[in-house]
Structure 1
């Protein structure tokens, strides 16, 4: 049995424990599913209140509003959107936070039509622990084919 804390990386390591890596994978699986299923408030709650987020959204309420509008648009279009996150890299920081990098594909399917990959993105997050849960404190996205 491991004596490492499941929430904190080993001191001085440039990697995280397998247990923490698995928890971070589960965090992202949960976060992406919340977005894909239109649970805007729960998705927004996976970010710190003051998280830095692309497109100038500056509050948790703003992120929830944006996610809700996006979910409503998908319903009107009779479309499903799925996020697939892979190639996850998790690096501990001296202050106990984590820096992550992952590749994210979004797949959109309009009912009765073929699935289309709509984006390939590099997602970089700064994760902080709040109340025993990991949250995104900062997210940057770089869409493939851009600068």
Structure 2
């Protein structure tokens, strides 16, 4: 049986260029979440543009730029360390949509799970992340991120 890949305007068939962009987006998220999980808050903040906006379900207003992002991540890291164990993230179901301006609009699910000092991991939250990735100094960076709880997305 032969399966033919047919694309639509919304979902074009895979091409070499698209496959490269998709792989770059996957690597970006693997790297970014690892920085967050290891509390490398400075380098995590650098994965955002200087004027980036980050909308979070727990905050009434978006968090702006590197300093605020780094402060936000550092406070979260301190809370996790004081609680013991670790908090890690898994990103999947990645959808990548290249835009005519060269940016990538992405949507993915992010699972936050805790690994306490004893026992196995426990899923805490599932989120939907919608990002606009742009090229900056040769790297993908987030210009805008909206995080929504999956049960409210």
- TM-score > 0.5, shorter chain as reference: yes
SS at 2:94's partner residue? Answer: strand
State the partner residue of 1:42.
43
Aligned residues: 135
Partner Cα separation in structure 2 for residue 90 and residue 144 of structure 1 = 18
State the partner residue of 2:29.
28
Residue-by-residue CA offset, 1:85-139 (whole Å, 9 max, x unaligned): 0011111111111100101111111211332111111111000000110000000
**Alpha-carbon shift at residue 79 of structure 1 (Å):** 2.1
> Which segments of 5 or more consecutive residues in structure 1 lack a partner in the other structure?
1-12
Task: Show structure 1 runs of 4+ deviating over 6 A.
Answer: none
Alignment match of 1:58 (pick from 52, 60, 64): 64
Q: What TM-score do the two structures reach when normalised by structure 2?
A: 0.83
Partner Cα separation in structure 2 for residue 25 and residue 37 of structure 1 = 18
Partner Cα separation in structure 2 for residue 91 and residue 114 of structure 1 = 36
RMSD (CA atoms): 1.6
Partner Cα separation in structure 1 for residue 44 and residue 86 of structure 2 = 17
Partner Cα separation in structure 2 for residue 84 and residue 17 of structure 1 = 23
Q: Is the 8 A contact 2:48 2:65 kept in 1?
A: no
> Which segments of 5 or more consecutive residues in structure 2 lack a partner in the other structure?
1-10
